[in-house]
């Protein structure tokens, strides 16, 4: 681990108090992430250091120092307080990757409220189920997204405020709507920071499971301890680094490592609020001299596809360390990056529920392309038997990943769903639901998920949600949704449907069904293909067996089909 000694030494001498000490935190003290990410950095004498360099899709640039971060988050916090938002109230952030999103999150945390970031590409129905679950009191959004909020607002009596950060006065505001312009607002120099404690709730991130509605993953302010230290040791951020995390704060990578990690370390980071393009990404690295880059396998595979010529057009010599998360990082991508950028992408494995990185490759440690690396110091990990949940000690033998609960950033519950939360713990292990093996040197090798959840381009999609949307269409009698292989996205969503009598299986109907479900699903969950079938494989009790359809798509052995009609 470069300047911090060897991995083995780190593990041996590890204690989370290392992070507590560096942050000046003592057990029982107030701990507020908003304060740690802005006020504290200013108190350390870095008020004038750049915190955020932002570039929008039309090329406009905005820059904020740590003092700007401090004062603007105060201003947003004070504005929310004025509206009547109190600690523990849920405030949704529903914006593109604009500065108000990054700074707004800190403002929400400063007043002790709970930030609920949601991906701005969500349609009104995706937004609705998540806000309904959280009983969100206020939503901060942009003009371009407000129509989606207006469509559902009347069904949400708990929603008291709709705050628009770029209101231009052209159309009258409706009831409950308020304009707030961060850059023009009168600055609040001093704000009473809510004395949140270690276990006070901080963030609510939504994630998809196999069945039912998306789950609200509750995090607490103490998560800072893990997020701070993993950012420092795994991403290897130094004082002069320019950091770029390509993730959107609608997802956990974009908050844990796109806001909390880098800002609590007082690092300069840049944000590009623009869609993916190999040329514009390289240009961005070149222009801002990005040194640490945290991205995702689908993006890396897209860059591979764009080829090496476009790489040569730019000066990427500023890059010092590259890391990846979200889906399996294939060995070819690691080898390609080493060849093209002169350094490999270091894989990291974790999830919304873990809140911080769990299994990683560390600077200075030998990278085995295709492996996720080793557990972060302080994390007790194992591969356990899927039936007994006993530790499997045999190198190379597959099992379920298990983590001993208790690391600081571990989620504390699923919002309003304690039972599902408890079910994630077996025989003293937290079970994230992924399969892996461990080799004789302690490296973890990802095998796959242990459920039917589809991971497309790093985004989890519940087959159940897609099936339900399909079933609402009058032509669809039954549906089954599985992953199918894809070069760039690794997995894409594929739907099988049977039709009701009177409907003809043709392209025109496929288009109609697609347009129908588009309104209900997140764009990420949209099937790439609908295949009409006469019937779906089922168990005796009528449960559709996605497993068989999945195996067919992946060209895998279907195995013993005598169980086809048996319940699992
Ligand atoms: C699931 C979590 C945490 C960041 C974004 C995703 C898969 C994550 C890896 C990796 C193989 C990975 C797992 C995990 N995953 N990282 N390095 N190699 N698979 O968060 O949406 O909660 O998804 O993504 O299946 O459980 P998430």
Host H or E run for residue 61: strand 61-65
What's the pTM? 0.93
Regarding whether 458 and 412 lie in a shared domain, the answer is: no
How do strand 490-499 and strand 476-486 relate by DSSP bridges?
A: antiparallel
How many residues are listed for the chain in this entry? Answer: 568
CA neighbor of 513 nearest in space, from 476, 463, 464, 467? 476
253 lines ligand 1 (CB under 6 A): yes
Q: Which domain holds residue 487?
A: 454-554
Task: Among 405, 436, 467, identify where a domain stops.
Answer: 436
Per-residue confidence in pLDDT tens, the chain, 568 aa: 554 568 999 999 999 999 999 999 999 999 999 999 999 999 999 999 999 999 999 999 999 999 999 999 999 999 999 999 999 999 999 999 999 999 999 999 999 999 999 999 999 999 999 999 999 999 999 999 999 999 999 999 999 999 999 999 999 999 999 999 999 999 999 999 999 999 999 999 999 877 768 999 999 999 999 999 999 999 999 999 999 999 999 999 999 999 999 999 999 999 999 989 999 999 999 999 999 999 999 999 999 999 999 999 999 999 999 999 999 999 999 999 999 999 999 999 999 999 999 999 999 999 999 999 999 999 999 999 999 999 999 999 999 999 999 999 999 999 999 999 999 999 999 999 999 999 999 999 999 999 999 999 999 999 988 998 999 999 999 999 999 999 999 999 999 999 999 999 999 999 999 999 998 888 889 999 999 999 999 877 777 888 899 999 999 877 655 444 444 3
Residue 565, pLDDT score: 45
Regarding whether 214 and 315 lie in a shared domain, the answer is: yes
As to burial, measured by CB atoms within 10 angstroms (0-12 exposed, 13-18 middle, 19+ buried), residue 1 is middle
491 lines ligand 1 (CB under 6 A): no
Tokens standing for 492?
């894409």
Regarding whether 459 and 418 lie in a shared domain, the answer is: no
- In angstroms, rounded to a whole number, what is the distance separating the alpha carbons of residues 130 and 216? 8
Q: Could you identify the atom of ligand 1 that is nearest to the CA of residue 449? A: 25
Q: Could you identify the atom of ligand 1 that is nearest to the CA of residue 433? A: 26
Question: How far is the centre of ligand 1, averaged over its atoms, from the C-alpha of 349 (Å)?
Answer: 6
Task: Among 378, 406, 436, identify where a domain stops.
Answer: 436
End-to-end CA, the chain: 45
Residue 566, pLDDT score: 43
CATH code of the domain in which 543 resides: 3.30.300.30
349 lines ligand 1 (CB under 6 A): yes
| For ligand 1, mutation pick of 259, 448, 455, 461 (most atoms within 8 Å of CB) | 455
Question: How far is the centre of ligand 1, averaged over its atoms, from the C-alpha of 326 (Å)?
Answer: 4
Regarding whether 478 and 415 lie in a shared domain, the answer is: no
Regarding whether 343 and 464 lie in a shared domain, the answer is: no
Regarding whether 493 and 366 lie in a shared domain, the answer is: no
Regarding whether 263 and 130 lie in a shared domain, the answer is: yes
Q: Are 452 and 482 in contact (CB under 8 A)?
A: yes
* CA pseudo-torsion sign 507, 513, 519, 520: negative
Residue nearest to atom 12 of ligand 1 (CA): 327
| For ligand 1, mutation pick of 219, 372, 434, 448 (most atoms within 8 Å of CB) | 434
Regarding whether 160 and 47 lie in a shared domain, the answer is: yes
Domain total in the chain: 2
Tokens standing for 396?
């190379």
Regarding whether 463 and 397 lie in a shared domain, the answer is: no
- Residue 449 in domain: no
325 lines ligand 1 (CB under 6 A): yes
Regarding whether 534 and 432 lie in a shared domain, the answer is: no
- Residue 559 in domain: no
- Residue 444 in domain: no
- Residue 175 in domain: yes
Question: How far is the centre of ligand 1, averaged over its atoms, from the C-alpha of 439 (Å)?
Answer: 20
Residue nearest to atom 2 of ligand 1 (CA): 351
Regarding whether 431 and 459 lie in a shared domain, the answer is: no
- Residue 71 in domain: yes
Q: What is the DSSP string of 239-264?
A: TT-EEEE-S-TTSHHHHIIIIIHHHH
- Residue 475 in domain: yes
- Residue 234 in domain: yes
CA atoms within 13 A on the CB side of 166: 13
- In angstroms, rounded to a whole number, what is the distance separating the alpha carbons of residues 40 and 146? 34
Q: Could you identify the atom of ligand 1 that is nearest to the CA of residue 372? A: 17
Residue 559, pLDDT score: 62
- In angstroms, rounded to a whole number, what is the distance separating the alpha carbons of residues 140 and 131? 12
- Residue 563 in domain: no
Tokens standing for 97?
């990757």
Tokens standing for 61?
């640039």
Regarding whether 518 and 372 lie in a shared domain, the answer is: no
CATH code of the domain in which 102 resides: 3.40.50.12780
Host H or E run for residue 18: helix 17-23
460 lines ligand 1 (CB under 6 A): yes
Task: Among 404, 436, 468, identify where a domain stops.
Answer: 436
Question: How far is the centre of ligand 1, averaged over its atoms, from the C-alpha of 64 (Å)?
Answer: 31
């Amino acid at each position: 681990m470069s300047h911090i000694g060897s991995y083995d030494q780190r593990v041996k001498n590890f204690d989370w108090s290392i992070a507590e000490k560096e942050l000046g935190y003592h057990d029982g003290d107030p701990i507020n992430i908003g304060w740690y990410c802005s006020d504290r950095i200013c108190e350390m004498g870095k008020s004038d250091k750049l915190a955020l360099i932002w570039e929008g899709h039309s090329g406009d640039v905005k820059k904020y120092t740590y003092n700007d971060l401090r004062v603007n988050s105060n201003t947003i916090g004070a504005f929310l307080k004025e509206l009547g938002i109190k600690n523990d109230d849920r405030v949704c952030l529903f914006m593109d990757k604009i500065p108000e999103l990054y700074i707004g999150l800190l403002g929400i945390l400063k007043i002790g409220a709970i930030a609920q970031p949601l991906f701005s590409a969500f349609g009104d129905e995706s937004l609705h189920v998540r806000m309904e679950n959280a009983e969100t009191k206020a939503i901060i959004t942009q003009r371009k997204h407000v129509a989606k909020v207006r469509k559902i607002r009347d069904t949400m009596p708990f929603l008291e405020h709709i705050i628009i950060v770029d209101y231009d006065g052209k159309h009258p505001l409706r009831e409950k709507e308020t304009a707030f312009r961060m850059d023009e607002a009168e600055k609040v120099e001093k704000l009473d920071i809510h004395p949140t404690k270690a276990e006070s709730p901080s963030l609510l991130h939504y994630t998809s499971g196999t069945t039912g509605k998306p789950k609200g993953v509750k995090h607490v302010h103490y998560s800072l301890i893990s997020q701070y230290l993993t950012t420092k040791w795994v991403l290897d951020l130094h004082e002069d680094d320019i950091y770029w995390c390509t993730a959107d704060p609608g997802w956990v990578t974009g908050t844990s490592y796109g806001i909390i990690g880098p800002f609590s370390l007082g690092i300069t980071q840049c944000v590009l609020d623009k869609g993916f393009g190999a040329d514009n990404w390289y240009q961005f690295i070149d222009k801002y001299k990005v040194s640490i880059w945290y991205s995702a396998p689908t993006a890396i595979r897209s860059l591979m596809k764009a080829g090496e010529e476009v790489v040569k057009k730019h000066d990427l010599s500023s890059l010092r360390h590259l890391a990846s998360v979200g889906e399996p990082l294939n060995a070819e991508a690691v080898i390609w990056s080493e060849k093209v950028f002169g350094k490999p992408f270091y894989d990291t494995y974790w999830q919304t529920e873990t809140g911080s990185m769990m299994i990683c490759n560390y600077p200075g440690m030998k990278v085995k392309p295709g492996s996720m690396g080793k557990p972060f110091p302080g994390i007790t990990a194992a591969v356990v038997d899927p039936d007994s949940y006993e530790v499997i000690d045999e190198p190379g033998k597959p099992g379920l990943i298990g983590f001993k609960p208790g690391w600081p950033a571990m989620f504390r519950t699923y919002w309003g769903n304690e039972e599902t939360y408890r079910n994630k713990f077996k025989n003293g292990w937290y079970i994230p639901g992924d399969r892996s093996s461990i080799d004789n040197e302690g490296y973890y090798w990802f095998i796959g998920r242990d459920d039917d959840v589809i991971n497309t381009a790093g985004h989890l999609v519940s087959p159940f949600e897609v099936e339900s949307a399909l079933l609402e269409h009058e032509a669809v009698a039954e549906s089954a949704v599985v992953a199918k292989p894809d070069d760039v996205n690794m997995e894409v969503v594929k739907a099988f449907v049977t039709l009701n009598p009177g409907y003809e299986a043709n392209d025109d109907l496929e288009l109609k069904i697609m347009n129908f479900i588009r309104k209900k699903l997140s764009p990420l969950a949209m099937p790439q293909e609908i295949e009409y079938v006469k019937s779906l494989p089922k168990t005796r009790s009528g449960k559709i067996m996605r497993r068989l359809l999945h195996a067919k798509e992946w060209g895998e052995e279907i195995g013993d089909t005598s169980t086809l009609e048996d319940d699992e």
